Each structure stands twice: as C-alpha cells, then as structure tokens.
Structure 1
C-alpha cells in the first residue's frame, strides 16, 4: 500500500505530527486495546504535498498573512472562502487515489466516516471541537476522495481560523491529517465527560445520549438524556429529555445522514439502561486513568457493543459546586482593625512570623511540651491567612489552640465575643472525651490551667517587666543613624529585635486571655441578671477608665491646642498653613511649640491609621496628619482635657448603679461582690492591653524604619526602583538575601508582578467571613456563606451599640489620611479603625464602623472619650453616601437614614 495511507497498526509507529491530534489519540486508544472501530489515516505530509502540487501553498500563506488578532471576524469569512474554494478544486494525487481504491477493495458495501485530524486538534489546551467538518456514511473511492478534500478544506473555514486566533494559535502552520474509519451505525450515541462539566466534580462523569448517530448531539440538533454517574460508586442521576429528533443514516440517498422525527414511547424513555451507563462509565474511567487526565469521549452503541469513536482531554471545568477538601473558616472581624484593606507582602509575612513566634512562646509558658509544640507547628505557622491581599484569622487554628486549655466551650464563646465573630462557626465542637482520653489530657490541662492562673495573678508584675524589656530593646536601636548601616547590618538588627522582643512577647498574650475570660464572666453575670442588652450596659461599665495610653495621644494634642490658643500668631499660622510644610514653618516661628511637636512625634509618631501595616506612612515620614488633627480640634473650643474627662465619666456611674442594683436584687450580695471583682479585673486587663498595644505599635515602627532603610539602599544601588518597593518583598526573602538562600535576585521583576497583582486586589473588597475548601487559592470564591436576599424596605441599619447617645448629623466617610478629615461634629463613618484613628474621634459627633466588636479598639476609645459609637454594621460604607444625614442611637445600635426612605 502506498505510503499515502496508513492502517491503524502502522499508525501506532508514526510521529504524532504526521497523525494530527485526533488520529494520535485514536492510535493511543488502539494500542491500549479499547473498542475502537478500525481506521486508517492520510498523514499531514500528504496534506502539505496536496497544497504544493496544486500550487496553493503560496496563496494560502498570502491570504492568511492578512489575518491578525485584531482582524474583524467579518473580514475573515471571505479570506476563508477563497482558500476553501481553491482547496476543493485541487486534484488528489494518483497514488493517494490508488491507496483509497485499495482500501475499499472488497469493502464496496462498507460505509466509512471521514474526519479531520488537524495538528494540535484534541489537545489539552485546544479541542477544536466542531470546528472542522466530518462526513458520515461514505463509501467507494469517489465519495471518500471527495470527502477527504472537503475535510482538508474545512481546516481553513472561518470558524476554525477564528478559533485559532482566540486560542492564540499561529496561522502559519496549518496541517491536517484525515481519518477514514469504519462507520458504526449507532442505535444510541453520545458524549461522555469523565469529569462533570456542570458541577466541576472530578468524581462524577456526565453522559449525554440520544437515539441515532452522534452527529445529532455534536451539531446540537437532538435533545439528549443526561446521566450523572459516580466514578467510584454506582449512583446515577437521570435527566430525561423529550427526544423528538434523531440523526440516522439516509438510506434513500445511500450516503450521509438525515434528521427524522420520533414518535411514541421512544421519545420519553431513557435511551441508556443502567447497565450501559455503568459500562460506559467503566470504559471512560479506564481511559482517564491511563491518560491521568479527565477525558471528553465520543461513543456509540450498536447491538449491545460499545464503541469508542474518539477521546480528547477536557479543556475546561467550572469551579466545583460541591467543594472537596477540608474546610477552613477565615474571619477578619477583629484583625481588620490592625491590617485594614489590602496589605503588602512584607507586612503579612512579618505579622505571620510574629504570631507564630509569640504563640509558640505562649505554649511554653502554659507548660505545653516540646513534642506537642512540634505537633502543632502547622497551626502556629498558619494563625493568619492572606486572601486577595487581605489579612484574616484562620479560625480553625485558633480553636485548635483553645483545645489545649480546659473548658473549651466557655473559652470558645468568650473568644468569639472578644474577636467580634458574629457568624456561626461549628467546625470545632466541645465534644465529650472518653475516660481514657480525659486521663491522657489531664496533665496538660492542669499544667495549662495552673500556669495561666499564675500568669493572671502576676499580671501587674509581668506588665511592668514587659514594659521595661520593651524600653531597653527600643532604645537600643539608633534610628537617627540607620543610614550609616549596611543592609546586612540592618537585617542583623531586625533579627536582634526578633530575639529580644518578639520571642519574649508572652505577657500581652497572657493578658489577652485574661481580657477574654474576664469579659466572658462579666457578660454572663449581666445575662443572668436579666439584662436584654448586656453588651450595651457592659460597654458603659467599661467607660471612663483612667491611665489608658490609647487616649494619651489625644490628650496630648488637646494640650498642644491649648498652647496654640494662647498664641494668636501661631494659631493663624497653623490654621492657614499647608499641612505638609507646617512643621518647618513652626520651627522658625515658635521654638517651644516645635519642641512639643517633636516630642509628640517621638512618643506617638508611629501611631497612625494602619499603624501595624509596615507600608503605612507615619508622622515620622509625613507630619501632615498631625496638623490636620490640630486644625480639627481648634474648631471646637469645648474640646479640652477636662471636658473629655467629664464625658468619660458621664455614663459610668449610672451604669454601675443600674447593674449593681439588678445583680444584688436577682443574684444576691455574694454574686454582686464577685461581679465587682471581675469588673475591676476586666478594667485592669483592658488598660494593660491598650498600654501594651502602644509598645507593639512602636516596635512595628522600628521594623518599618529598618526595612525602609534597606529599601532606600536597594533603590540607591539599583536593585529596586523605589525604596517603598521593599514592601512587596517578604521578610524571609530579605533574610534569605542575607543568608545566601534567595531563590530570585531579579527584584524589580518580582516587585513589578506583585504590585500589579495587589493593585487588582484593591478593586474589590472581600466579605469579613468566608469558608474555603481544599487548597485555599484554588477554586474558592470567598463568598459570605450566610448571604441572604436583602429586603429593599425600611430605612434603618443595625449594628452593635458600643456607647450610648443619640446623634442626628451628616456622616463623613473617611477611609485614609488622604481623605478630607474635617469633622466638626459630623458622624465619622468608616470600614474599620485602629489606634491611629483615635485623634480624629474627639471632633466626631458619633462613630460608625462597618467592622469590629465591643472590645475592638474603636469601641474602647469611643467609650473612653464618651462618643456615641456603633460597630459591626454590615455594608454601611456602601449603603450610605458622604454627607447623608442620619440619626444614630449608640445604645440600641441603630442608624436611621433621614435623607432616604429606603436602603
């Protein structure tokens, strides 16, 4: 036989480029012994020779050169038509016609299917499904030869060319093989996907089936029955169609197919039995298993025999509707205060390392063995998650940590209350342990309980020692002369801070446990006393506490304002000057006030909006925010340290009288005495927490300066374009450059890619709470799992009241220091806050925060300053407009829109 045509046995040994995609797959099916109808192939080199011998090669190249990625689809049609016309006029070579004649000799009554097998067809990235033509029920040399030309010409049809453009496949190397295959007159035919194309499940197949041959399905002519079947079980879900049409052999014409109308029972019964479904499933699973990839398979059944007509890789699957893999709960109700919005890689990597280090040390303080710590390494390294640039708590691992302590159920509720978790989290339950398990756990639980209680008793001493430790480490860094140190020396300084501070940061964590437990005790007593809104009363009881350093920056600014008011020239300068240049002008005009400014910057210069984000610009880099706040305060003559103190105490006395009376009357004097002790402990713990948070802010400021100086020197040396690009590297990448284990040194390219990616993250927010399944960054949509359809009626929003008071005013939406910061009694409305927002609070008539809890920083500071506040108001910044007038009730947690009748 001429080398123009190869039988399937010979094709097994040919180069895949000679076979084209479909024939290569048929060769593989044949080699594996699968039930494939016998076939032959006209190779791609014959196609190339056909064009050359008919003088078409240059014409094809010339015509296709006029098509590019931006070519109008309408302009492709005439080009395709001209090429096809010339191909159809071509003459097949004598040896090819002879080969076809030899093939059909003795098979004069045998029908064949003539199909395309273009190079690249049926590949993983490009199926070319339906792009080229097939001709069924062909017999005899003349019919097969004519069909072969038509199939070859279809490689240049408009839809195939447009498909190539869409897939980015070059048009300069179009080569087609042609398959000639024994025709199976299928009684039932169809397509099988071994991974479900609708649900995305890789554990279920979808079989589409219709009466007649498969052309009816491929062309979309026939309605199909659809059968979803498990790959590893025999569950079958059937969806039967009204199969009123079928494509069958056209016996009158003696070739090709025709459409017929079906009547009666055949239209409505399943065209596949369960036995056939499972048999198809088994063959499909075998093919997918051998290929190690989901397959798109065409098949036919005749006289109970299954035939596989072709297979190709599935090119696309949707995100699974029923996700597979472990569920992780992410929530940022609390941590968003510290890491608001999109956070850079340097900040996240630093924070994640810090959490792992601090909680590892805490586990040791609680008496957890080194073996148990090693077993929890994955927990420690994954306390946080970064999703679309936003920082979240990995709630699974926080609960795993709580399981090391006694009374998990109580601690779980207390932690959720402190963290502001408003959504149900049931992935970890307080299960009943067997007697044997309790015995095994008992030593660890007792050690943890003993050490925790001892830590609580020593809290005052621990706080004092921690603050002394911090001051020593803080003052050991010479911030003014960082520019004289090399990047390597700066990394050494950062690592020294790691050792001297981060690895000795247990006191703040023990105190956080103390806050959590005392807050839970106070809350439960108020509930037992019969209060219907215990959180509101509890917030009032916590107001007016003296000595909280989170309010000290505000009080110092108020003292600075008092000084400005005594100096008319200075006041005129501050009120009229540009915030960005005022410090330099103040230096010339008033040396005393300049000294006050420098003192404030030294004390609180790292306390800014987004203060724990290393990329945040603080007063040390830009003093504009300082003067913006001072200008705000100067508009309010009633703002003094004395008036603030009066506000702070306004509700505390009445709240105590209300709570104490109810507890005494309902629970008795002993319960009241315990309540007062627990309340005092809670107040002390919150004061300690806020004071130690200032230390955290300042140490983050040290790291910020160290990393910025590294960035400055990298930019100076040409490793980076700008010093702030350092924030798009990770801590480990910087440390690795010091150690000699960096895996990429082209930092500019690395940073450019990350900056582009993180800029995209800025365009859309994520919910505060979502679940992921399996791999966090693969096929997860990060949707809020409890989303309900909002009713478009009413004009009220609801959150958690943190400090009482009714305010009727316009709102001012503020998201960053670059926004207009003038408030003058208006209601501050924002997504989230951290301690750096505190200086804005005193000029606000009220505070509305989309995220947060009753123990979040905004709530604590609002109580201390006596400002009505509501937190945890879903979507408020999207629902309200800047300047819109509302009435907020800080006790009830309600916001009524006065300029709108509907939300």
Structure 2
C-alpha cells in the first residue's frame, strides 16, 4: 500500500490527516457510525496515484461511488472552520477520483481560500491539504445538526436541519430545509417545515436531482423521533470532543451515519441566554473599592462580606441550617470583573429573602435595606408564593426577630463597649512589633484578627442597623408632628456631637495649619514645595513635627481608598497630609467647628421643644428617639474608624509577609504580595498553598491587571448569563440617550444648613486636587480620605451618598454647609463655575457671571 494513503487508526495525527479526517478518526475511536474512508496525504510525492486504485477497491469493493473532500490541517478547527472554502465532490466514480483529488488541491490555492486565510484566519501561507475519500451513503434523508443553537447561543438547545436525499444542496445553501429546535429533555421546542422542490440522489451515474411531488413538498423530512435521534447524535459528538459540534449526518434504511463533525466556532462570542442570571452593580461599593482592585484586597473583602453577613443573619434569628443551605449566595455577594469589585445583586436579594417575614412585607424590607430596584421576577418566582401555613410561620418568625432586635437595642451600648475592648486587646497588646515577628507568628496574628474580629463583627452590624432605624424614625416623627418649616431639623439635631472621631482629622489639620501659618516660608514649602522640601520644613518646626507624628500615629491608616490593602497610607506617603496642612494654613481656618454649628443644634432643640409644647408623651418619645439616633450615629462613625484600624493592621501584616518572601527570593518586591490572594499568602506560610512559584503567579496577574487598567472600565451596572468571565462585554444594556444636563439649579439632600457662594472645584482624584481656600468642593463620591480637603473648603457638594454617609456626618461635625445626592452634579458643574448652595433646603444654583460678580 502506498505511503501516500492513510487509513483510520493510523495514529498519525492532525498534521497528516488534516482537520476533517482527524475528527472522523476520533469519532470512530468513540464508537460512532462513520462511513469508511481513507486520506491522500497533502505531502504525497509524484507517485501518489500508484496506490489509489488498491485503496478504492478496499474501501468500495463493488465499485460504489465515493465522496472526495478536502481535509486541510486548519480546517474544522476550534478557531476557524473553513466551511465551504475548499471544493467537495459527491458521487465520484473510481476512475475520476485522482482528477477530483487534484481539483481539491487546486482549490486550496484559489483567491477565495487565500482571502479567507488572510482576512478571517489571520494566516497568509498556504499548504496543500490532505484529501478525504469516503464511501457514499445512499441517504433517504440527510442534513446538518448543531449540538447548541449557533444563533441564540443556547447550549441546551440542539438545532436539526434535514432535506430529502443527500444533504449537499442544504450544506451548500442551494435548497431550503426543514428545521427543528430540540431541548435537552428531547422536547421539540419549535419546527419550521420548508417547501422542498427537489431532492438529490446518488446512483450508478453519480448525483442527480429528482423533483419532489407537490403533495410531498411540505411534508416533514423527519418524524419527531428521528429528529430526537439526530439531536442526540450531535450532543454525543459534542461530549466526545468536549465542545459544541456542527455535524453532517445521513440516514439510510433507518441507519443514522455521522459524516463529519467540527466545532461551532461562532459560539465562543455568544453567552448562553439560558445560563444563570447575574446582575452586577458598583453604585455603592465603588466608594470603597474604586478602580482596579488587587487580588489580595478582593479576596480579603470577599471573605469579610461573607462572614459579616452570616453574623447578621444569625442576629436576626435565621437558623444555621438555613444559612448553610444558602452558603452559595453568601460566598458570592461581591465579585471581581476585569479587576473591578461589584455587588452581585441576585446574591444580595437571596440573602435578603432569608430575613424572617420577608415574603410578608417584601417591599418594605427592600427599602429598609437600601435596595434601589425591586427584586427581579426571576427571583420572586424562585421564592414562590407563601401558603397560609407559611404566612403563619413567617409571622411568628417576625415576632421572634422583633424580640431579638429589641433586646439587642437595649444592650447595644454595652455591646459596642465590649467590641471596643476586644478590638483594643487584639490590636494593642502585641508583645513585639510586627517587624520582629516570625512569618508563622504573623500568620497566627492574622488568624487571631479573623477569629476575634472579622467573624465577630456583631456590634458594628447591630449598631449600623439601629442607626438607620433611629435616624429614620427621628425624621418621620419630625415630619409627622411638625410643619413644613421643621422638615430638616432632624439633621440639625444630630449635628455638632463633638465625640465623632471621624471629624478629628479635619480639626487636627486646622490646628496644624494654624501652627504653620506663623511661618510664611513653611506655608510655602507645605503648599507648593517638593516632597523633600515639604518634609524638611515640617520637621524643622518642633511643634508641627510633634503634631504631625501624633496625627500619623492615630490616623495614619485613614487615607484615600483606605479599604484597599494595596493603598499607600499617610505613613508611607505623607504628602497629601502636608499639602492639606498648607491649604489650611493659607485659609487660616479655625481649629473648632464654627460657633454657629453648636448654635444650629441648640436652635433645632428649641424648635423641637416648641413643636412639642403641651405634648408630654410626644416630647418623651422624641427625646428617646433623638438620644438613640445621636448615640447610634456617633458610634456608627466611630466603629467605622475602628474598621479602618483593623484593615490597617491587616495591610501591615500582609506587607511584612511580603518583605519576608522578597528576602527569601520568593517575590521580587514586597509589594508584589498584593497580586496574591490572602489564602495563597497564608498557604505559603502554613503549608496549604498549591504553588510555590509565586514570582510566576505574580507576573501573570500583574500583566493581566495592567491590561485591565488600560482598558475602558465595565459599566456601572450590567448583566451576565452563565460563565461570568465568558463571552460578555460587561458594557451593560443599551439605554435611551440621556437628556443633556441643563438648567441653572439642582436639588439634593441638605446635610448641614448654611448658604455659601463660591467657585466650584470639581475633584475626581483628591491626590491631584489643588483646592484653594474658599472654594466649594464638588465630587461624585467621597471616602474618609477626602476629609483632608474639607478644612480648606467653603462648602461641599456630592453627587452620591446619604444622610448617614461619612461625608454628611463629618460635614455636620465641622459645621461645613453641604448638599449630597445631587443628580448629575459632576456632569452639570465645571471647575470655575460660580455656585450657591443652601445646606438646609438642598438647593444648588449655578450663578451667571454677572450675578456672581454683583454678589
């Protein structure tokens, strides 16, 4: 037998057999019914025809006609199919096979194939393909089938197309065919029966066309049972190759043959619309984890979210069994998409649905939890409708939860004190500095933080809940018992507490500004000098040096993006703080809140007493609610500062371990540690890691994350189906064009009263801000690190946030007129615009130049 002829099972591989024949070889090994074949090698020498006659007699001993098709190496591949690019011939007589083989080789050099190689496959070179010679099947019906729908992307729906006779006309697109869509359970979802004019038949004279009788033209080519057989065949081929397949098939005498199989290459760009729905939203979490977030921060945050909300569910009375049953939702409350952190909203909805009595009052609980949009109907259907018995059980569960929360409210002050004590014990009683601990001791200290704090975050959770309840109750009481003129006094009543630690950094910056203001050269160095000049000037002033050291010891972890572990703190880079001191010195602002802050609170209290005069019961109720609102808001902000301290300690542990790994040459640099996940870092120390090639892992992730930084960010909100990191562009659904942001006024939520006019300074990155004294700070969102800009600002405008957000609370403590939640603020205002804000009514006006000059 000639070396130019290769038979199935020769174990020569795709390089010799080509794509089409290699697939058939694999299918035969898996037991599929494939008509006999052999291959003429593409690299056959000049004497290749010598063994052709013998091969044909072996394949078709009675002289049966054969099919002659291309089988190029790149054909029917996972990336490109080359479908229809090469010539194929059916019903070829033995004496014509050699000529048809040469015709196939010539087609490989055609302009059509060369254009496909260049434009679609991205290849310019051409090689002579192998040629497949296969026994013809005298099919009564034939066609193609897809194991997945190539149009919709549904992996669970097979598509079958059939035509009477041979399937060549269908494959070539010359004739229409019947088609069916078949579900995984065999159900025929829909069918389209075509009007068929002719059928192709294979006979002794080759392939011929035969007219179909008019009365049979609209009859289905296959019965439903045979449709299911073909769909099952396509799915078997997909299982064999591990990827969705596009097959050609033929049926002869009831016997189903598989003629060829190739990957459905177009599916790689299609998400499966039947896959599990996920809704991703970063509208709130971006304030804490903006931009690209490293694996270390994400893995730590994901762990914290899961365990904190497990605790909350236990607090409100959800059983451990129910919590474990829904562990999948709790583990996926946040996700990482192209390096950005998002809420997985459906996981949040499912967690919300675990709350006792949720089905009794779903809308109220959605509002209470701050959910902006109603629960998707897909989740509502998943939860089902409550029966009468379930409603009674829900009612009892709500009563139990109310009792638990009442008890929790009664002892919340004590719980907060105990939490502070536990936190100080864990953070402040280390026997040695972190730099002197062994790696195993550092890992053990992290585990202690995890055990004592991260998984025991009960007091902050309860306090946050009660702060929301009592502050909301105070607002509703004022609105119900007062008149329109009392609408905003609930904000004034909780202002100027004096015990909120978050306001202390701004007060200290003001004090350091006063210290520096007596030396013009020092002010200049702090405001505009180089880092070296600013540092030297600050250190040269003994009083400022002491104040600066004390500030860094207390608030060094309170920085921009403080919850991202990779963030450099003020201890690492104190320039943002030195610039803030310089601005405060230039502004000559006072160290304490303006006197009117306390006056406004006292005035609000007088107005409340007058409003409730002669109503002793209402006055008592209002007094109790006000006392609780003040205490809970204060503790909420102070506990958030303690969270900052915990994250700061974790950051230092991680960095210290990074230094040890760099010293051992396991990392190139200590900060490379942030490209590891927390369990990978601890696993390296504890022996549970799965790789020791940390350098290679870091290099891979660094390249990927740097690519994400260069790419446009995903949309703020988008949906995915099935595999989240699969074929999705993460761009969100198309939306109607937004109306232009026009007009000269906007209304937001007033946080602190006072009318201020000044020049707007729109700030996107506070590290690059050049806020001048007396300007109005304008931002889309803020985090605690922005407080360094507050001392120089005359007022504050924020596009997002609530009355309990950090910026609102600190503005009230500092007596800084502020308006938050201003729709479209940063698209409306530009730096340099003259604006006026009313911190009581929430009205913001953009002033015309002539109006601003006059005022």
> TM tier, shorter chain?
0.7 to 0.9
Q: 1:609 deviation in Å? A: 0.9
Q: CA deviation at 1:691?
A: 0.9
Measured in 1, the distance between the counterparts of 2:764 and 2:758 equals 19
Partner residue, 2:342: 392
**Partner secondary structure for residue 104 of structure 2:** helix
1:435/1:226 Cα in 2 relative to 1: closer, same or farther (>3 Å)? closer
Maintained 8 Å contact 1:298/1:308: yes
Does 1:133 pair with 2:80?
no
C-alpha contact (below 8 Å) 2:33/2:258 kept by paired residues = yes
Q: Shift in Å at residue 690 of structure 1? A: 0.3
Q: Distance in 2 between matches of 1:218 and 1:503?
A: 62
Alignment pair present for 1:453 and 2:453: no
| Residues 191 and 208, structure 1, Cα contact 8 Å, conserved in 2 | yes
- Report the equivalent of 2:852: none
Q: 1:132 to 1:402 in 2, by over 3 A?
A: closer
Looking at structure 2, the residues matched to 879 and 295 of structure 1 have their Cα atoms a distance apart, in angstroms, of: 52
- 2:811 paired with 1:862: yes
| Conserved 8 A contact 1:329-1:771 | yes
Query: More displaced, 797-806 or 284-293?
Result: 797-806
Name 1:705's counterpart in structure 2: 652
Out of 170, 179, 182, the residue aligned to residue 133 of structure 2 is 179
Residue 348 (str. 1) matches residue 304 (str. 2): no
Question: In structure 1, how many angstroms separate the alpha carbons of the residues matched to 2:567 and 2:363?
Answer: 34
Name the SS of the counterpart of 1:694 in structure 2. Answer: helix
Q: Match for residue 185 of structure 2?
A: 232
CA distance in 1, matches of 2:133, 2:847: 74
The number of residues matched between the two structures is: 838
Do the aligned residues in 2 keep the contact of 1:4 with 1:99 (CA within 8 Å)? no
Q: Pick the aligned partner of 1:613 from 560, 564, 568.
A: 564
Query: Structure 2 length normalisation: TM-score?
Result: 0.82
Q: Aligned ranges for residues 137-216 of structure 1 at < 5 Å?
A: 137-139=91-93, 141=95, 143-155=96-108, 176-182=130-136, 191-207=144-160
5 Å matches for 1:508-657? 508-525=460-477, 539=491, 542-568=494-520, 570-579=522-531, 581-588=533-540, 590-637=541-588, 639-642=589-592, 644-647=594-597, 650=600, 653=603, 657=607
Partner of residue 750 from structure 1, selected from 697, 701, 707:
697
Which range moved further: 345-354 or 550-559? 345-354
Q: 2:802 aligns with which of 849, 853, 878?
A: 853
| SS of structure 1 residue aligned to 2:260 | strand
Determine if contact 1:333/1:853 at 8 Å carries over to the other structure.
no
The 3 A distance-change label for structure 1 pair 445 and 20 is same
Provide the rounded CA distance (Å) in 2 between the counterparts of 1:410 and 1:627.
Answer: 55
Deviation at 1:617, TM superposition (A): 1.3
- Alignment equivalent of 1:323, drawn from 255, 268, 273: 273
Q: Which residue of 1 aligns with 2:853?
A: none
What SS class does the counterpart of residue 767 from structure 2 fall into? coil
Kept in 2, the 8 Å contact 1:518–1:682? The answer is yes
Cα distance in 2 between the residues matched to 1:105 and 1:405: 75
2:42 aligned with 1:93, yes or no? no
8 Å CA contact 1:848–1:871 kept in 2: the answer is yes
Going from structure 1 to structure 2, the CA distance change for 1:228 and 1:729 (only over 3 Å counts) comes to same
Aligned residue in 2 for 1:87:
none
- Shifted more, 824-833 versus 210-219: the winner is 210-219
Separation of aligned partners in 2, 1:224 and 1:792:
51
Contact 2:470/2:629 (8 A) holds in 1: yes
Check 1:534–1:610 CA distance in 2 against 1; reply closer, same or farther (3 A cut).
farther
Match of 2:20 in 1: 22
Contact kept, 8 Å, 1:347 with 1:615, in 2: the verdict is yes
SS for the counterpart of 1:818 is helix
Q: Does structure 2 retain, via aligned residues, the 8 Å contact 1:328–1:396?
A: yes
Q: 1:740 aligns with which of 683, 687, 693?
A: 687
**C-alpha distance 329-383 of structure 1, shift in aligned 2 (>3 A):** same
CA shift in 2, pair 1:501/1:898, >3 Å: same
**1:780, distance to aligned residue in structure 2 (A):** 5.0
Instruction: Quote the offset at 1:626 in angstroms.
Output: 0.8
* Correspondence for 1:844: 793
In 1, Cα distance between equivalents of 2:300 and 2:756 = 40
Query: CA offsets, 1:502-529, max 9 Å, x none?
Result: 3443211110121232244345556767
Mapped pair 1:335 → 2:288: no
Matched, 1:493 2:477: no
Q: CA deviation at 1:654?
A: 5.8
Partner of 1:475: 428
**Aligned position for 2:631:** 684
The root-mean-square deviation of aligned C-alpha atoms, in Å, is 4.8
SS at structure 1 position matched to 2:768: coil
Given that residues 234 and 278 in structure 1 are in contact (C-alpha distance below 8 angstroms), is that contact kept between their aligned partners in structure 2? no
Q: What CA distance in whole angstroms lies between the structure 2 residues aligned with 1:249 and 1:802?
A: 82
1:724 aligns with 2:676: no
Distance verdict in 2 for CA 1:764–1:540, change over 3 Å: farther
What is the distance in 1 between the residues matched to 2:532 and 2:225? 75
Q: How far did 1:650 drift?
A: 4.2
Which of 725, 729, 738 is the matching residue for 1:790?
738
784-793 vs 553-562, greater mean Cα deviation = 784-793
The answer to whether the Cα contact below 8 Å between 1:536 and 1:891 also exists between their aligned partners in 2 is: yes
From 205, 226, 230, give the equivalent of 1:283: 230
Going from structure 1 to structure 2, the CA distance change for 1:164 and 1:778 (only over 3 Å counts) comes to same
- Residues 332, 457 of structure 1: CA spacing in aligned structure 2 closer, same or farther, 3 A cutoff? farther
> In the TM superposition, what is the alpha-carbon distance from 1:750 to its structure 2 partner?
0.9
Provide closer, same or farther for how the CA distance between residues 31 and 522 of structure 1 changes in structure 2, counting only shifts above 3 A.
same
Map 1:357-376 onto structure 2 (within 5 A). Answer: 357-361=307-311, 371=321, 374-375=324-325
Partner of 1:814: 763
Q: Structure 1 335/96 Cα, relative in aligned 2: closer, same or farther at 3 Å?
A: closer
Which residue in 2 is equivalent to 1:694?
641
Q: Unaligned stretches of 5+ in structure 2?
A: 850-855
Q: CA deviation at 1:233?
A: 5.3
Q: 1:485-512 CA deviation, whole Å, 9 max, x = no partner?
A: 3323322232233334334432111101
The 2-side partners of 1:264 and 1:532 are apart by 84
Match of 2:782 in 1: 833
User: Aligned equivalents of 1:766 and 1:297: distance in 2?
Assistant: 37
Structural mapping, 1:99-110, within 5 Å: 99-100=55-56, 107=63
TM-score (norm 1): 0.78
Q: Distance in 1 between matches of 2:841 and 2:178?
A: 57
SS of alignment partner, residue 501 of structure 1:
helix
> Contact 1:851 / 1:871 at 8 angstroms: preserved in 2?
yes
Q: Is the 8 A contact 1:827 1:848 kept in 2?
A: yes
Query: Conserved in 1, the CA contact under 8 Å of 2:148 and 2:159?
Result: yes
* Cα distance in 2, alignment partners of residues 769 and 542 from structure 1: 34
User: Aligned to 2:247, which of 281, 297, 308?
Assistant: 297
Q: Identify if the C-alpha distance between structure 1 residues 615 and 483 changes in structure 2 by more than 3 Å, giving closer, same or farther.
A: same
2:749 corresponds to: 801
Kept in 1: contact 2:296–2:675 (CA 8 A): yes
CA distance in 2, matches of 1:121, 1:349: 43
Once structures 1 and 2 are overlaid, which stretch shifts more, 812-821 or 875-884?
875-884
1:591 Cα offset (Å): 0.8
Give the superposition deviation at 1:824.
Answer: 3.2
- Give 1:852 shift: 3.2
Q: Report the counterpart of residue 372 of structure 2 in structure 1.
A: 422
1:600-633 per-position Cα deviation (integer Å, ceiling 9, x unaligned): 1111111111111111111111110111112222
